Structure 1
Amino acid sequence: MEAPHGPAADAGTTAAHTLTVDSPELMADLGRALAAVLRPGDLVMLTGELGAGKTTLTRGLGAGLGVRGAVTSPTFVIARVHPPLTGGPALVHVDAYRLGGGLDEMEDLDLDVSLPDSVVVVEWGDGKVEELSDDRLHVVIDRVAGDTDDDRRVVTLTGYGSRWAEAEVAALARQGR
């Protein structure tokens, strides 16, 4: 497996774990497992090619957080806010694919305002949102090389900063198996 990539790949990595996910349903289950350890102020960056499962993972995450509204790709609206139905945090789901610049271009979305009270999930955020928080979880989703089953994915969870202690990311990786 390739090492985590992106501008901050070598700065403050606390944990990295890899697991295989065999179906879209299991990708959504991984999202629900992730929701169990997320808390307000968490930043989650999702990386993967088109159709890799980023939105499917986020859909499961939204179900696990108990938020309102269907979690769909925010490609054309750039960001969607899903308020909580229970006492948990809101989910801010961002698709930065069409945004070319770094954090300067992202400022119009006011993610720095949303972050303390929400779980912020950014698809295609590499090189664009790392400055929002020293503590973040980077989820890289890759298709299984040479596999004829299009649904299998290799998911690498990499924690950055003190928030993502080795034990927490390892426990999350075990839940997703």
Structure 2
Amino acid sequence: MTDLTSGLVVRLRDADTTRAFGRALAGVLRAGDLVVLTGDLGAGKTTLTQGIGAGLHVRGQVASPTFIIAREHPPLPREDGSRGPALVHVDAYRLGSLEEVDALDLDSSLDEAVTVVEWGEGWVEALAADRLEVTLQRPRGDHDPTGHDPHEHEALDAAAGERTVTVRAVGDRWAGVELPDLDDTLVGG
């Protein structure tokens, strides 16, 4: 078990393992949680959110809400008939001011859903004293062993490539919350 207040850094082999990590992370999320995602274009923010959505068992395809800014995914019934929280997925990339963030009225749904905000660093921390700050990095090198231009290769296969994910828990809500040990097949060794 990994205590999230100590911080967590994992290397994920590709998009599939990034989604699997998101599913594992969903196992400790509950209504009222705010997850702030930071990372460059193509780092895996939406991919991680797809895993969180799958782990929360929500309806609808989790895709980048870049042009609609925010999308809510209601919970589906689980095998036992219970329902978990909804997922509110926000992309703050196109927002230009704190007033625009405030206009989204995220605090009205915060208590009832897990809210994941891509590009949220510096914009949404005031919404909740307790939050997970997740930074995704996808190294970009000058050399690609396949012989392709590295930028062309990324465009051809966005699912490939290792990501490094850093999770930092902020606030009392996360005291004692542990993420189950991750399978060695999930993370890079």
Query: What interval of TM-score do these two structures reach, taking the shorter chain for normalisation?
Result: 0.7 to 0.9
Identity level (%): 54
* Residue 95 (structure 2) pairs with residue 99 (structure 1): yes
Question: Please, what is the CA RMSD of the aligned residues?
Answer: 2.0
Are residue 19 (structure 1) and residue 10 (structure 2) matched? yes
The CA distance in 2 between the partners of 1:35 and 1:29, in whole Å, is 10
Determine if contact 1:157/1:173 at 8 Å carries over to the other structure. no
Please list every run of 5 or more consecutive structure 1 residues that lacks an aligned counterpart in the other structure: 1-12
In the alignment, does 2:42 pair up with 1:46?
no
Larger Rg: 2
The alignment's TM-score, normalised by the length of structure 2, stands at 0.79
Identify unmatched segments of 5+ residues in structure 2: 78-82, 146-159
CA distance in 2, matches of 1:50, 1:173: 28
**Aligned mate of 2:162, from 128, 131, 152:** 152
Quick one: which of 156, 161, 171 aligns to 2:171? 161
Q: Give the TM-score, by structure 1 length.
A: 0.85
2-structure distance, mates of 1:159, 1:29? 19
1:118 paired to 2:113: yes
Q: How many residues align?
A: 162
Cα-to-partner distance string for 1:42-93 (whole Å, 9 max, x where unaligned):
0000000001100000011101111110000000000000000121100000
Contact 1:15 1:164 in 2 (8 A): no
Distance 1:44 1:28, change over 3 A: same
Given the alignment, which residue of 29, 47, 56 partners 2:47? 56
* Distance across 2 between alignment mates of 1:66 and 1:155: 22
Q: Secondary structure at the match of 2:54?
A: helix
Secondary structure class of the residue paired with 1:116: coil
